[in-house]
Amino acid sequence: MEYVIHRGVRIPLIGFGTYRLGSCGRSAETETLKYGICELGMTLLDTAEMYGGGLSEEILGSVISSTDRSSLFIVDKILPSNAEKGLYRSCCQQSLKRLGVDCIDLYLLHWKGNVRLQEMVGSMESLVKEGLIKHWGVSNFDTHEMEQLFECENGSNCFCDQILYNIAERGAEYDLIPWCREHDVLVMAYSPLCNCCEARTKVTDDPLIVSAAAGEGKTPESLMLSFVVRDRDIVTVFRTSGKEHLNMDMQNVFGEIPAEDMAAISEKYCPPAEKYPLEKI
């Protein structure tokens, strides 16, 4: 595993997402998670109270119960509908209980919704002071929303923006990723494998990607992950339910993408020439 140091915290560049965890056969999925954590160093773990109505947190909790807690970096998220009602503390406590831990490393507002930002910052800061979370951040915030957040008192304590970013969805490169870099906000890319089968296979079946991956000793999927973490300052969380896929996805994932391959990729999967609103799932 390779790591980024962000605001003094060491975070794996690649971690596990848990959206739909529990939907593909619980025992195989938990084995895959254990294997990823223990054998591949995927100790960055992403969950949310929304996933399966708490089931993903519960399953993740059972998997990590036999793991050294201090080695993990657990990301969890509060729903805007709960944040709007000011339920930060009770939602956080319920998530902690389902996870079976006493502190969440990074607690995110899942998306902005109608949440009042100053109130959110104040509540997140209180959770930090109480020791229930170590850091807080946001998800699915576009550049103008980050700017609004940074106008709030203590808004610049935002640790991370978790956003949709992958080889086929590069819109965030236009101004959001540069803005985050400039303001020391960690970008965490979700759905690096394009989330759904149709979108993913458009990339993984593309002869350009197949040939570049083969030349680099990667699979098309591991090339997709390599692409997202290529600058070593963006981290990502992806999901798979099976060990075989996991091994394919991590094959030579930290091998550099040669400049000529990168140029060919960018010719077909173009970086944005203008601003588009941030895509979300």
Ligand X SMILES: NC(=O)c1ccc[n+]([C@@H]2O[C@H](COP(=O)([O-])OP(=O)(O)OC[C@H]3O[C@@H](n4cnc5c(N)ncnc54)[C@H](OP(=O)(O)O)[C@@H]3O)[C@@H](O)[C@H]2O)c1
Binding site for ligand X (CB under 6 A): 17-19, 24, 46, 110, 139-140, 162, 190-195, 200, 221, 237-242, 245, 248-249, 281
Q: How far is the CB of 241 from ligand X (least distance, A)?
A: 3
Tokens of 178: 């540069």
What span, in angstroms and rounded, lies between the C-alpha atoms of 105 and 74? 5
Nearer to ligand X, 121 or 253 (CB): 253
**124-to-102, 119, 275 alpha-carbon distances in Å:** 16, 9, 30
Give 192's strand partners.
Answer: none
Choice between 47 and 123, CB closer to ligand X:
47
CB of residue 75 vs ligand X: minimum separation in angstroms?
8
Nearest CB to ligand X, comparing residues 32 and 123: 32
Q: Closest distance between ligand X and the C-beta of residue 1, in Å? A: 17
- Compute the least distance from the CB of residue 95 to ligand X, in Å: 14
CA distance 200 to 202: 5
Query: Do the Cβ atoms of 3 and 11 come closer than 8 Å?
Result: yes
Residue with Cβ nearer ligand X (200 or 274): 200
Question: In angstroms, what is the minimal distance from the CB of 39 to ligand X?
Answer: 16
Residues in the chain: 281
Dihedral sign computed on CA atoms, order 138, 272, 169, 114 = positive
Q: Which is nearer to ligand X, 106 or 265 (CB)?
A: 106
91 — phi, psi (to 5°)?
-65, -40
